[in-house]
Amino acid sequence: MHGGENVMVILSSPSGVGKTTITKKLQQKYQSFKISVSHTTRSPRSNEVDGVDYNFVSIKKFEELIKEKKFYEYAKIFENYYGTLKKNVDESIKKNDLLFDIDWQGTKQLSNFKNLRMIKIYLITSNKNDLKNRLIKRNQNSLEEIEKRFNAFDEDIKHWNDYDYIIINENLDICFKQIESIINNFKRKISNFSQIIQ
Minimum distance of ligand 5GP from residue 38's CB (angstroms): 3
Minimum distance of ligand 5GP from residue 173's CB (angstroms): 22
Helix (H, G, I), strand (E, B) or coil at 170: coil
Minimum distance of ligand 5GP from residue 78's CB (angstroms): 6
| Cα dihedral 173/179/182/187 (nearest 10) | -110
Minimum distance of ligand 5GP from residue 169's CB (angstroms): 14
Instruction: Provide the β-strand partners of residue 55.
Output: 39
Nearer to ligand 5GP by Cβ, of 53 and 130: the residue is: 53
Complete edge-to-edge strand list for the sheet that includes strand 97-101: 33-35, 97-101, 8-12, 118-124, 165-168
Query: Helix 128-138 crosses helix 143-151 at what angle (to 10 degrees)?
Result: 150
Minimum distance of ligand 5GP from residue 73's CB (angstroms): 6
Q: Which residues bind ligand 5GP (CB under 6 A)?
A: 15, 38, 42, 73, 75, 77, 82-84, 101-103, 105-106
Cα distance between residue 109 and residue 86, in whole Å: 12
The residue at minimum Cβ distance from ligand 5GP is 106
Nearer to ligand 5GP by Cβ, of 25 and 188: the residue is: 25
Nearer to ligand 5GP by Cβ, of 164 and 184: the residue is: 164
Nearer to ligand 5GP by Cβ, of 97 and 101: the residue is: 101
Contact criterion met (CB below 8 Å) for 18 and 24: no
